[in-house]
């Protein structure tokens, strides 16, 4: 497998106005999230994208590690400068864009596990990490980091092989990361611009959610809530109906499906 990533092949397929137009590429780096933050602090334009072939300290949500071996996958972070009202939408738009791009390039049907994991069947294909920095009430910048398992032999990684998957594992063949990344950034920019024009992005995201109407368990704040995932609000908040009929609104948490 070629470890390199062809920037030319990627750029040839990129159809965006600004997302991915400023592009930095590293063979290896601790985390693209930190590199993107540094660029944002120095005034990098919206859409600036940092890609690494390998991360030596890739991180996921909730302080977890993100397994980032060389060459097989996509690890990248994008600098965005949304208005505060659009910040929470990033956690819906990115997983939607991933589902659309994966569908378009591979034909695989991916779903969103609330709030923003992307799954194929029961296994995780991609994760989204949103970090943000404010100046008072204004968003200075957001850094969105995406890890997407593409041509990854999960069976070699015992710690995640039961819970994770990759495109090649699902498809039985490898796909070009360049085409996938360009398609994903194309889809993202369309959805992001639609959100900025005031279109309700949560409806498309909701259509990809796999939990609605199903019994779930959510680790939330210091405790655990159980019940039926009844609905989601336009900002992504989950409405859970407990077994006693009462409702609880959950803004962020870790969901497990219960059958």
Q: Shortest distance, CB of residue 148 to ligand BTN, whole angstroms?
A: 8
Q: How many residues does the chain have?
A: 259
- Beta-sheet strand order (sheet of 117-120): 23-29, 49-55, 74-80, 138-148, 123-135, 117-120, 111-113
Q: Shortest distance, CB of residue 197 to ligand BTN, whole angstroms?
A: 28
* Residue 138 buriedness (CB in 10 A; 0-12 / 13-18 / 19+): exposed
Work out whether 147 is an interface residue with ligand BTN (CB under 6 A).
Answer: yes
Q: Shortest distance, CB of residue 243 to ligand BTN, whole angstroms?
A: 29
C-alpha–C-alpha distance, residues 81 and 101, integer Å? 23
Q: Shortest distance, CB of residue 11 to ligand BTN, whole angstroms?
A: 20
Work out whether 95 is an interface residue with ligand BTN (CB under 6 A).
Answer: no
Size of the site for ligand BTN (CB under 6 A): 20
Please list every residue from 28 through 47 that binds ligand BTN, using CB under 6 A: 31-33
Work out whether 24 is an interface residue with ligand BTN (CB under 6 A).
Answer: no
Of residues 32, 24, 25, the one with CA closest to residue 57: 32
| Inter-CA distances, 71 with 14, 152, 179, 248, 254, Å | 20, 9, 15, 43, 29
The residue range among 57-65, 91-99, 188-196, 236-244 that interacts with ligand BTN, by the rule CB under 6 A, is 57-65
Parallel, antiparallel or unpaired: strands 247-250 and 238-241: antiparallel
The residue range among 143-151, 154-162, 210-218, 226-234 that interacts with ligand BTN, by the rule CB under 6 A, is 143-151
The residue range among 75-83, 181-189, 194-202, 203-211 that interacts with ligand BTN, by the rule CB under 6 A, is 75-83
Q: Shortest distance, CB of residue 163 to ligand BTN, whole angstroms?
A: 11
Dihedral over alpha carbons 80, 51, 119, 229 (to 10 degrees): -20
Please list every residue from 109 through 138 that binds ligand BTN, using CB under 6 A: 117, 127-129
Q: Shortest distance, CB of residue 50 to ligand BTN, whole angstroms?
A: 9
DSSP H helices, 87-137, are 90-106
Per DSSP, the three-state class of 49 is: strand
Question: Among 20, 47, 58, 91, which residue sits at the site for ligand BTN (rule: CB under 6 A)?
Answer: 58
Contacts with ligand BTN, residue ranges (CB under 6 A):
31-33, 55, 58-61, 64, 66, 75-77, 117, 127-129, 145-147
């Amino acid at each position: 497998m070629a470890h390199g990533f062809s920037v030319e092949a990627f750029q040839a397929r990129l159809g965006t106005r600004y997302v991915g137009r400023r592009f930095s590429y590293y063979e290896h780096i601790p985390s693209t999230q930190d590199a993107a933050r540094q660029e944002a602090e120095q005034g990098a334009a919206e859409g600036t994208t940092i890609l690494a072939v390998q991360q030596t300290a890739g991180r996921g949500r909730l302080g977890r590690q993100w397994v980032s071996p060389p060459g097989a996958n996509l690890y990248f972070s994008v600098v965005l400068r949304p208005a505060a009202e659009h910040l929470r939408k990033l956690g819906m738009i990115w997983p939607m864009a991933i589902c659309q791009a994966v569908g378009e390039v591979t034909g695989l049907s991916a779903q969103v596990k609330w709030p923003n994991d992307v799954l194929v069947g029961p296994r995780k294909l991609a994760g989204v990490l949103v970090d943000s920095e404010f100046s008072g009430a204004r968003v200075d910048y957001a850094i969105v980091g995406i890890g997407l398992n593409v041509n990854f032999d999960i069976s070699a990684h015992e710690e995640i092989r039961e819970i994770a998957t990759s495109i090649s594992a699902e498809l039985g063949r490898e796909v070009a990361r360049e085409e996938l990344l360009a398609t994903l950034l194309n889809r993202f920019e369309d959805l992001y611009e639609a959100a900025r024009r005031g279109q309700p992005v949560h409806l498309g995201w909701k259509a990809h959610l796999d939990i609605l109407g199903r019994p779930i368990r959510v680790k939330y704040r210091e405790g655990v809530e159980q019940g039926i995932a009844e609905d989601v609000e336009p900002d992504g908040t989950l409405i859970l109906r407990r077994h006693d009929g009462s409702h609880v609104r959950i803004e962020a948490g870790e969901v497990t499906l219960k059958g």
